[in-house]
Amino acid sequence: MNTLTVGEQTLALDKDGYLVDLNQWSTDVAHALAAVEALELTPEHWEILELLRGFYQEFQLSPATRPLIKYTALKLGPEKGNSLHLNRLFNGTPAKLAAKLAGLPRPTNCL
């Protein structure tokens, strides 16, 4: 099992780098996970991460790419709810990487 150290805290990660205990997520954890991915979180990233966390609270699952795009378009408009925008923010793997950074489980139907 992998671990991530954030300040004084050591967090367990699964084999793919997702948090084992979703309750340990915080903004500091998101920044640390993003650093592992060589990504600096901007306000645009945070907008999607917060949206994803809301989706998870509502449906108890992490969306795959197509539902993520549709949900983003519904909540933030078509200029942000499209594959080009999400791929640009999350290096071509928006559903998996955004879920990881948001402290959520890996989407079940993502390879």
110 is catalytic: yes
Q: Which of 37, 62, 36 is nearest to 51 (CA)?
A: 62
Structural Rg of the chain based on CA atoms: 13
| Catalytic residue (choose from 75, 108, 110, 111) | 110
Both tokens of 50, joined, read 């917060």
Catalytic residues: 110
